[in-house]
Structure 1
Amino acid sequence: MQALIDFLSLHPALALGVVFAAALLESVAVIGTVIPGSSVVVAAGILIGLQVLDPYWVAVVAVIGAILGDGFSYWLGRHYQERLGTWWPLSSHPELLARGHAYFAKHGGASVFLGRFLGPLRAIVPVVAGMSGMPVFRFTVVNVLSAIAWSAAHLLPGALFGASLQLAGAVSSRLFILLAGLVAVIWLCIVLFRLAHRSARAFVSRQRDRVVGWARARHGVLPRIALSLLDPERPESLGLLIAAVMLLGGAWMFLGITEDVLSSDPLVQFDHLVFVTLQKLRNDFVDNVMIAVTELGSAIVAITVIAAVALVLAWERCWRTLAYWLTAVGFSQALVWILKMMLERARPIVMYNGADRFSFPSGHVASSIVVYGFLAFLLARAKSPKIRFTVTLLVVGLVGLIAFSRLYLGAHWLSDVLASLSLGTAWVALLSIVYMCHVRPEQLPARALSVTALCTLMLVGAAVVATHHAADAVRYAPRQFTSSPTMSDWWVDGWQRLPARRTEVDGDHEEPLSVQWAGTANQMVQELEAGGWHRPPPWTLRTTLLWLLPSTTVGQLPVLVKLHQGESPTMSFVREVDPSHRLVIRLWPTSYQVVAPDDLHGALWIGMVTLERLVHPANMATLAMTDQDFDRPAAQLGKYLQTQGVRLKIKRRDTTAVLLVH
């Protein structure tokens, strides 16, 4: 391994070709059993950690090589079938094919994925898959996924080791203990889950039989409901039970989210975190894709699909199903409009007029899940499990993409989307229950319905994308908020209007925000650095591993991220007190400009200063604990700044000090 690392480090351009060849040849029939492809890829990972090789290109060539190797072996098996057994070296080692056939017969398509990680079988299983007639598409999907997993499983440990060669000896025993403990916990959880599953299954079966026996001996509404949901002799009972669970779960979730929105509970704080995070991740390419997806969920597309399905049902004289179809979409849209007008919740970004300017719940998401969800129920009813699974997967994918597009484009809060999904699920489940119980079986034209809905969605969706995309690109463009309100009385008493404590995503109030600073980022950096403060080390593989060493000093460690209203600090600074104690400043920008003494204007930042001390539990690792005395760190920061001639004053709010700095 050391010789291989030395060679590849001297020839980085050649290294990519070596990685590609090793990944490919290791998967080729028969010869792959003796090619050390795994060792080559691990060595390449080590060179990634040493910053000799580019991680992107190494991963690409490793994945492509692994895909082509297994693909070639699959082609051999599919093309030559049993004749391969008469060729050398398989003719001399017939046990290889026998083992491959046995493994494939036991695990099926999963053997292609698992076999790549098993040395004796990795080059035989793809051949057997081809000989056994495994469908090309299915093999390709498993082949690609296994190649990605195999490459990651060999590159990542190597990269971790290569980035931390100097720490490897010091932390290896601790890493082993932690990993062994993690494996033990996972194994214990699996064992307990299996025991609980076996016990729960038997218990549930006994209770179901008791309830069914009780219901069969009685008359009334409750016994009839119990039999319709639990009687194993009724083929529709499982579907009714699933729909009942979806109805109760969806209704409970919708009411809970509505309560959180009305009372500004922690979910609203998480709304802000999701919105800010997604807006930071936006780029032009994904914007165009998400705009096209959200246009597929627009009112024009939904109404056209509704009308097309209604026409097919009317043509086939499925009048009862048509009535349910129109009731499903009509009532849901009326309910969404009523809720919008009642709650009047503002959108994250103003982009609509009229009733559409309100955010809760999302009309796009609600109409999508009702239209396509109820259509999926009609198409999948009384069909085979494979058809039901396929239809469900397609609908979940479409509705999920539309829901995510509303979040990504800033048109809705997370709670709006979750409320719409839960409300739509509950409404579709309720309609499904009533339909199964009260509508006599109608011969629905499933093929005509599916083709009509799909073609309408594609054609009308493409037309809407073509005609509305330019205008929607302007509507959903990322907003640049440049104007900030001015707080003219901040220096006197306006500071009291800012939050007193850091707020976690779950709404809990944590450390006091003891610093308010008016100035630019460059000014703060200059004044703090002049006072002996500096930026903490960044989070890297090396600094992360340092937490596993009990001998680590405080100056070597990065600062743990703490969120305020869903956002991480924009700037952090540290000052070492001694090898095991340090002062930490975390600062967040506000939306305010302030007017301070001498009519000086500046942006207003809010933050906290804390004292952290290192502890070493069981002498196995290092932890940073925050001291609960918050006044002393604020006083120390004020002292350091006063020596630099910075204008400041200390105010009291409740029992804590607030440092105003300009």
Structure 2
Amino acid sequence: MTEYLDLVLAFIADNPSLAGLICFLAAMGEALFIIGLFVPTTVVLVGAGTLIGLGKLDPVPVFVWTTLGATAGDAISYWIGYAFKDKIKSMWPLNKYAHMMESGEKFFARHGGKSIFFGRFVPGVKSVVPGIAGMAGMNFTRFSIVNVTSAFAWTIAHLAPGVLAGSALSAIGEISGRLALVLGALLVVVFLFVMLGRWLILTILPLFPNAHAAIVTWFANRQDKTSQWIARTFDPAHPRSTGMLVSALLLLVTMPTFFWLVGEVAPGEPMVRADLAILNLFDSLRTPVGDKIMVFATTLGDGIVLTAITVAVAAYLFFRRAWRRGIGFVIAMAGTAMFVPLFKLMLHRARPLELYAGADAYSFPSGHATLNAVLFGICAVLIAHDLNRWAKAGIFTVAASYVITIGFSRIYLGAHWMSDVLAGLLFGTAMVSAFAFVFGPIHNEKIGRATMAVLVVATLAGFGGWHLSRTYDRALLTYEPRSNTEVLTVSGWLDGDWRAVPARRIELNGDREEPLVIQYSGPLNSFAETAREAGWQRPPKWSLTTASGFVEGQTPSDSLPILPRSQNGRQPEMVLIRKDANEAEGGRWVLRLWPSRFEIVKDGHLHALYVGSVVHEDILRPMGEFSGPRTDLETPPSAQNPALLLPGAVTRVRGDGTEVVLALGREAGALPKNGSDPVTGPQDP
């Protein structure tokens, strides 16, 4: 996995002018009138800042290009407003964002010229304020001075977090590249969640400004009691109807998705294979420091900590005489606490590793993910109640980030399958949505939001710290990596144990792909040296030069880098290619060897067993301008499997007719002389 990140970083680092241009376009795009809502500037600039922190980009050109882009975008918006004046309000798509125009006008009227500086940092108005300044006829010289100054400060504010994150990841990478990748993946998940929520709030919802009223009107025109209740409940005139509508929609989406997921974890389903592949992926990325961080997170999500916070919150709600919300909170937490073990007993899905006894010995759904989602989700609902949407977004972002981190830790540590955590988050979100729908409209129960937030954080810090001091060292031992390696003898492997090795490659999504036609135990260099005599060679590494070959129509097949493929969550340890003998065909054969969970014991020594595929790629050249590989054959001809070049290789035939070659490297010892005769094995189970 780290090699893919290195490829991306190397590509950008080899082309810093392209990185500067991208930052220029992103910064300019966000400053354009309304269009800025659709431009993912934060993603691009935080990413660029991260690359600076990692030492992959020069900070000066990126800073200059970003500042120029932000300045140009505001200048264009100013010109649009100056040229079209009030006509702009009736133009599509600007007429869909009338509320933003009104907010921008009020902001400009309140702050005057300073709004150009401060407005750039205010979500919801930053893409309209420069245009409004133009509409108001603000002096261009004065506008330009403020524009350049604010662009300078805005660039620092957007690049700095990425630079800090990149510097931290770079320092962590000096300890372990795998740890940096794990923490980077966690940051990406949280960051994408936050950006998705922001995009939905700012960009998508304004496109349907009248949808709420239209839906309510449709129900109001119906005479049945249910429709009339829906019309009254979700009336746009009701100040809390929008929140109730969002809660209802979330409930209608998350609960069916949860039960759909239940069906997808039945034995033999692709989701089960995907779970195993992702488990193997995280197992390959584990490090001692990463284990300590994730054990810290998962211990804070233990039941005893949740119980302490639940008791504190319930007691506070009853103390404030918020009887209905207090009772609803207790019912939600108690109901979830009973639902999780009961559902585990019903489904009886085994965990990746043995941790607990009783109902907790089973894995679906994750109790940590479910209970933490319900607890902190409801706390976020109570604390954010009646605040403005940006305050709500901030509170829910913090709560969601914390819950996602705990769920991530369960997958990383192998305590749960990925689908267990997804199911827990789905059910937890559904419970929070139901609570918000029922108790959100209540306005006569004052709970003291700031006090409650302090109570939750203080209980988590105090009781969680106490729990960590008592159990952290024991938890490190509980969650320490456990080898699932299976050892085979040479004779047992030849006699039939080869059938236990996967027959097809499994993708991260659980799909079964091409047959695995090689089982090899021994040094990889030995395999490569033998294959070289038959024309097999290492493929070119990814770089700007080799990647550009995909956009050239005459690139030879052996000059194109190899597209990545994983087997059950693992990356290939060795890749070889061989051009077609006939130049007119212009294709290539690609061999990949992945590590398996098996080892071969020979003369008292253990040797890793690799599984491999050999596929043929046809190089497509549409219109003679591009070169794109497409797999057209998934198995080589019987006599062309490169593993047969190894001394003493033997062939076995699976029940579906595919052949697999078994071979030992020189250091692992050769197979018996008579092993080269093809042997047909019985059908695979």
- Compute the TM-score of the two structures, normalised by the length of structure 1: 0.68
Aligned amino acid, residue 615 of structure 2:
T
Alpha carbons of structure 1 residues 607 and 418: separation in structure 2 relative to 1, 3 Å: same
**Residues in 2 aligned to 1:323 and 1:55: alpha-carbon distance in whole angstroms:** 49
- Range moving further from structure 2, 330-339 or 358-367: 358-367
In the alignment, what sits opposite 2:234? 230
Q: Distance in 1 between matches of 2:312 and 2:341?
A: 23
Q: 2:323 aligns with which of 319, 322, 332?
A: 319
Q: Residues 476 and 654 (structure 1 numbering): CA distance in 2 closer, same or farther, change over 3 Å?
A: closer
Q: Does 2:338 correspond to 1:329?
A: no
Q: Provide closer, same or farther for how the CA distance between residues 146 and 661 of structure 1 changes in structure 2, counting only shifts above 3 A.
A: closer
CA displacement, residues 399-458 of structure 1 (integer Å, 9 cap, x when unaligned): 122222222222222111110011111122223333357x78323233332222221112
Matches within 5 A, 1:9-408: 56-57=54-55, 59=57, 62=60, 103-104=116-117, 107=120, 109=122, 124-125=145-146, 143-146=156-159, 198=207, 201-202=209-210, 205-214=213-222, 218=223, 220=225, 222-408=226-412
Aligned counterparts of 2:556 and 2:525: Cα–Cα separation in 1: 28
Matched-pair contact (CA < 8 Å) for 1:631–1:656: no
1:649 aligns to 2:651 (yes or no): yes
Match of 1:535 among 511, 514, 538: 538
- Kept in 1, the 8 Å contact 2:53–2:164? The answer is no
Percent sequence identity is 29
Helix, strand or coil for the counterpart of 1:538? Answer: coil
Q: Distance in 2 between matches of 1:123 and 1:440?
A: 47
Shift of residue 544, structure 1, vs aligned partner: 1.3
Contact 1:113 1:146 in 2 (8 A): no
Counterpart Cα distance in 2 of 1:370 and 1:590: 39
Write the distance in 2 (CA, Å) between the matches of 1:321 and 1:518: 63
Structure 2: distance between partners of 1:129 and 1:558: 43
Give the SS at the match of 2:487.
coil
Counterpart code for 2:539:
P
What is the alpha-carbon distance in structure 1 between the residues aligned to residue 341 and residue 238 of structure 2? 39
8 Å Cα contact 1:312-1:448 kept in structure 2:
no
Letter of the aligned partner of 1:144 in structure 2?
A: A
Partner of 1:31: none
1:194 and 1:453 map into 2 onto residues whose CA distance is 33
Deviation, 1:620, is 0.7
Q: What one-letter code is carried by the residue in structure 1 that aligns with 2:543?
A: T
Listed one character per residue, the Cα deviations across residues 291-324 of structure 1 (whole Å, up to 9, x for unaligned) are 2222221222211111112222232333333222
Question: Which residue identity does 1:569 align to in structure 2?
Answer: P
5 Å-filtered alignment, 1:573-612, equals 573-578=576-581, 579=583, 580-593=586-599, 603-612=608-617
State whether residues 533 and 574 of structure 1, in contact with CA within 8 Å, keep that contact through their aligned partners in structure 2. yes
| Aligned counterparts of 1:649 and 1:252: Cα–Cα separation in 2 | 48
Indicate how the Cα distance of structure 1 residues 317 and 613 shifts in structure 2: closer, same or farther if over 3 A, else same.
closer
Shift of 1:234: 2.4
The reply on whether 1:469 has 2:469 as its aligned counterpart is no
In structure 2, relative to structure 1, the CA distance for the partners of 1:412 and 1:626 (3 Å cut) is same
Q: What secondary structure, in the 3-state scheme, does the structure 2 residue paired with 1:572 have?
A: strand
Give the deviation of 1:151 after TM superposition.
13
Q: 1:63 to 1:453 in 2, by over 3 A?
A: farther
Q: Which residue number in structure 2 is paired with residue 423 of structure 1?
A: 427
Distance, in Å, in 1 between the alignment partners of 2:312 and 2:153 is 36
Alpha carbons of 1:114 and 1:387: their partners in 2 closer, same or farther (altered >3 Å)? closer
What per-residue deviation string (whole Å, max 9, x for no partner) do you get for residues 315-349 of structure 1? 23333332222211111011111122222322223
Maintained 8 Å contact 1:489/1:595? no
String of CA shifts for 1:126-185, please: whole Å, max 9, x gaps: 78659xxxxxxxx97863314678999xxxxxxxxxxxxxxxxxxxxxxxxxxxxxxxxx
| Alignment match, 1:87 | none
Task: Tell me how far 1:605 sits from its aligned partner.
Answer: 2.7
Tell me the CA shift for residue 205 of structure 1.
4.2
Q: How many Å separate the matches in 1 of 2:529 and 2:559?
A: 22
Q: Which residue of 2 aligns with 1:626?
A: 631
How far apart are the structure 2 equivalents of 1:194 and 1:390?
A: 17
* CA apart distance, 1:261: 1.1
Stretches of structure 2 lacking an aligned partner (at least 5 in a row): 1-51, 69-110, 130-140, 166-198, 665-685
The superposition leaves residues 339-367 of structure 1 with CA deviations (integer Å, 9 ceiling, x where unpaired) of 22222322223344443332221111111
| 2:263 match: secondary structure | helix
SS at match of 1:484: strand
* 1:478 equivalenced with 2:481 (yes/no): yes
- Cα RMSD of the aligned pairs, angstroms, is 4.4
Structure-1 separation of matches of 2:464 and 2:606: 51
**Contact 1:291/1:405, CA 8 A, preserved across alignment:** yes
Residue 475 of structure 1: CA displacement? 2.4
Unaligned runs of 5+ in 1: 1-53, 71-97, 131-138, 153-189
Distance 1:225 1:324 in 2: 22
Alpha-carbon distance in structure 2 between the residues aligned to 1:382 and 1:113: 26
1:547 is displaced (CA, Å) by 1.9
TM-score using structure 2 length: 0.66
Report the Cα distance in structure 1 between the residues aligned to 2:438 and 2:533, rounded to whole angstroms.
73
Correspondence for 1:452 among 455, 477, 498: 455
- 8 Å contact kept, 2:490–2:601: yes
Letter matched to residue 587 of structure 1 = L
Q: 1:223: how far off?
A: 2.3
CA shift in 2, pair 1:255/1:140, >3 Å: farther
Matches of 1:351 and 1:141, distance apart in 2 = 49
Secondary structure of the 1:418 match is helix
CA contact (8 A) 1:651 1:658 kept: yes
Q: Counterpart amino acid of 2:449?
A: A
Highest CA radius of gyration, 1 or 2?
1
Residues 538 and 558 in structure 1, CA contact (< 8 A), matched pair in contact too: yes
> How far 1:209 sits from its partner (Å)?
2.0
Query: What are the superposed Cα offsets for residues 495-528 of structure 1, whole Å, 9 maximum, x if unpaired?
Result: 3444333333334333222223344434433432
Mark the CA change 1:509 to 1:279 in structure 2 (over 3 Å): closer, same or farther: closer
Query: Cα distance 1:465–1:113, how it changes in 2: closer, same or farther (>3 A)?
Result: farther
Tell me whether 408-417 or 102-111 shows the greater mean CA deviation: 102-111
C-alpha distance after superposition, 1:13-70 (max 9, x if no partner) = xxxxxxxxxxxxxxxxxxxxxxxxxxxxxxxxxxxxxxxxx99457475499889x99
Of residues 619, 623, 634, the one that matches 1:614 is 619
Please give the alpha-carbon distance, in whole angstroms, between the structure 1 residues aligned to 2:321 and 2:537.
77
